């Protein structure tokens, strides 16, 4: 079915292109370099997702249409080569292929702890959520389907998907080792109710290919439909081989490659715009639904470069600052993260590579429920090599990264939030 759709779309694009050729001269055609520039920015997050999914398939045993839950306690990640490890949640994922027919999943009730099911489509949009905020921790069944499919009779909540694949990232909070069996039982209660045995072929990431004119193959392999609002853009993309067959001479290949190289430079440059002030980098506004991103393809690509699968701002936000030496964060009452009624936040100390190393004090993260506030509502968090009274995180000195995670914030205020700057004790 997917091949038929692609052939049909390719034919439509060629017909439209032919009509447009009658209306304009060659001098007004977009340059191949410009088209490649635009197309690579569009495709970059899609390819980064392929790379990440491939890694999960290899190292985590992720399979299509089967839950893959990590049974490890989150603090067991301390000392592991994991960038910015989550030290408060047990994690897992589901990779679903809805190309053949709708798929239903079931999740258990979880009202006693924070949990989130972040649903990400082939475009890397956060198109749907379940969990504490979105569905109030209720148990339920959810049936994922594409617009070409008919829904069967079911009490499951219908969820429309763009594309053939989606991934669901699962996070379930855990406070202590005593809760391990409880959370394992919750993980085991996450089920795929029905799924076809046959699945579509998923691409294999190759970095050399991804940064060459052949990157268009990833778009062709991943997409089974062209979003209606992007039709004109894909007509341009057809000039370099997206949903079309083209042959380039050496000069044309060099133009396409130049567009790719320029686009990747623009993505890296755009990441600088994620600097929000006071020494922090944040990505509040580059993750979300298709409607929320509103064709901000460069921002979407920068978000993927910064860190794939960031949450939408109403679910979680991350602020990172690279600092040096011992010191303190001082939050005036009005400088605390803006939260919803069910919101919370945490602070973690990492090394300059955003890794967490073991220390003799087991001091790695401070969560809101452990924070000690001053009488005026302000908050001080100290960073030093020796234990201190109050809120304290261990650092051996030298360069480090401070990561502030804000969950379920006040969605209207969080976009403007900037944490206070780190004050060095030097």
Q: For 180-228, what is each residue's pLDDT tens digit? A: 999 999 999 999 998 888 898 999 999 999 999 999 999 999 998 899 9
Does pLDDT of 6 surpass 70? Answer: no
Q: Which of 277, 266, 374, 292 is nearest to 330 (CA)?
A: 374
Residues in the chain: 426
The pLDDT mean for the chain works out to 92
pLDDT(263) > 80: yes
pLDDT value of residue 29:
65
From CA 295, how far away is CA 42, in angstroms rounded?
A: 10
> What confidence category does residue 401 fall into, taking pLDDT thresholds of 50, 70 and 90?
very high
Q: Which pTM does this prediction carry?
A: 0.91
Residue 367, beta-bridge partner list: 346
Pairing outcome for strands 280-282 and 275-277: antiparallel
Q: Looking at residue 81, what is its pLDDT? A: 83
Query: Token pair of 274, please?
Result: 């994620």
Per-residue pLDDT at 144: 98
Distance between CA atoms of residues 257 and 262, nearest Å: 9
Q: Which residues contact 40 (CB under 8 A, 6 or more apart)?
A: 215, 259, 260, 263, 264
Mean pLDDT of 231-258: 96
Angle between helix 297-307 and 32-59 (nearest 10)? 30
pLDDT for residue 24? 47
pLDDT at 28 over 50: yes
Report the pLDDT value the prediction gives residue 30, as an integer from 0 to 100. 75
Give, for 299, the enclosing helix (H) or strand (E): helix 297-307
Question: Collapsing DSSP states into helix, strand and coil, what is residue 42?
Answer: helix
What pLDDT shows up at residue 61? 87
Residue 12: predicted pLDDT: 57
Count the alpha carbons within 13 Å of 90 in the hemisphere toward its beta carbon: 22
Q: What pLDDT, in 10s, does the model give residues 370-399?
A: 999 999 999 999 999 999 999 999 999 889
Q: What is residue 25's predicted lDDT score, i.e. its pLDDT?
A: 45
The Cα–Cα gap between 357 and 401 comes to 12
Strand-pair partners of 191: 106
Higher pLDDT, 72 or 30: 72
Domains of the chain: 2-48+213-269 (no CATH), 65-194 (2.60.40.1610), 313-424 (2.60.120.600)
Q: How far from 412 is each of 101, 368, 419, CA to CA, in Å?
A: 38, 21, 16
- Residue 189's contacts (CB-CB under 8 Å, 6 or more residues apart) are 106, 107, 108
For 313-371, the pLDDT digits (tens) are 999 999 999 999 999 999 999 999 999 999 999 999 999 999 999 999 999 999 999 99
On the question of pLDDT at 60 being above 90, the answer is no
Residues 6+ apart with CB under 8 A from 335: 419, 420
Q: What is the mean pLDDT of residues 290-314?
A: 95
Q: For residue 10, what pLDDT is reported?
A: 54
CB neighbours of residue 219 within 10 Å: 22
Find where tokens 């299509």 sit: 64
**Dihedral sign for Cα atoms in the order 236, 241, 246, 250:** positive
The CA–CA distances, whole Å, from 213 to 41, 94, 201, 221, 353 equal: 13, 31, 21, 15, 32
Closest CA to 312 of 298, 292, 327, 330: 292
Least confident of 22-31, 109-118, 284-293: 22-31
């Amino acid at each position: 079915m997917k091949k038929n759709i692609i052939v049909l779309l390719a034919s439509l694009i060629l017909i439209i292109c032919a009509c447009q050729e009658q209306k304009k001269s060659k001098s007004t055609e977009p340059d191949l370099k410009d088209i490649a520039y635009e197309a690579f920015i569009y495709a970059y997050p899609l390819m980064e997702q392929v790379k990440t999914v491939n890694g999960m398939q290899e190292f985590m045993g992720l399979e299509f249409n089967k839950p893959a839950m990590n049974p490890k306690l989150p603090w067991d990640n301390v000392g592991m080569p994991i960038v910015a490890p989550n030290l408060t949640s047990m994690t897992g994922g589901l990779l679903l292929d809805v190309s053949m027919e709708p798929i239903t999943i079931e999740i258990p009730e979880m009202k006693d702890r924070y949990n989130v099911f972040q649903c990400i489509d082939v475009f890397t949009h956060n198109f749907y959520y379940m969990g504490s905020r979105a569905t109030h921790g209720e148990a339920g069944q959810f049936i994922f389907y594409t617009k070409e499919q008919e829904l069967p009779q079911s009490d499951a909540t219908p969820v429309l998907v763009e594309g053939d694949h989606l991934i669901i990232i699962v996070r379930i909070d855990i406070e202590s080792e005593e809760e391990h069996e409880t959370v394992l039982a919750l993980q085991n209660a996450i089920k795929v109710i029905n799924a076809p045995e046959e699945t579509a072929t998923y691409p294999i990431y190759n970095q050399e290919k991804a940064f060459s004119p052949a990157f268009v193959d990833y778009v062709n392999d991943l997409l089974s439909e062209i979003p209606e609002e992007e039709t004109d853009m894909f007509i341009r993309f057809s000039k370099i081989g997206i949903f079309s067959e083209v042959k380039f001479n050496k000069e044309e290949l060099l133009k396409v490659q130049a567009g790719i190289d320029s686009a990747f430079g623009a993505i890296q440059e755009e990441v600088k715009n994620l600097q929000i002030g006071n020494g922090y980098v944040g990505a509040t506004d580059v993750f979300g639904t298709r409607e929320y991103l509103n064709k901000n393809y460069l921002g979407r690509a920068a978000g993927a470069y910064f860190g794939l699968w960031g949450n939408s701002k109403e679910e979680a936000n991350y602020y990172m600052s690279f600092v040096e030496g011992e010191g303190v964060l001082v939050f005036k009452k009005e400088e605390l993260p803006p939260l919803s009624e069910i919101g919370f936040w945490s602070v973690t100390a990492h090394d300059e590579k955003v890794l967490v190393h073991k220390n003799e004090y087991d001091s790695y993260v401070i969560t809101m429920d452990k924070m000690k506030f001053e009488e005026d509502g302000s908050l001080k968090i100290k960073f030093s090599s020796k234990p201190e009274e109050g809120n304290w995180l261990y650092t051996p000195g030298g360069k480090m990264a401070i990561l502030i995670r804000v969950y379920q914030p006040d969605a209207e205020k969080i976009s403007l939030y900037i944490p206070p700057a780190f004050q060095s004790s030097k």
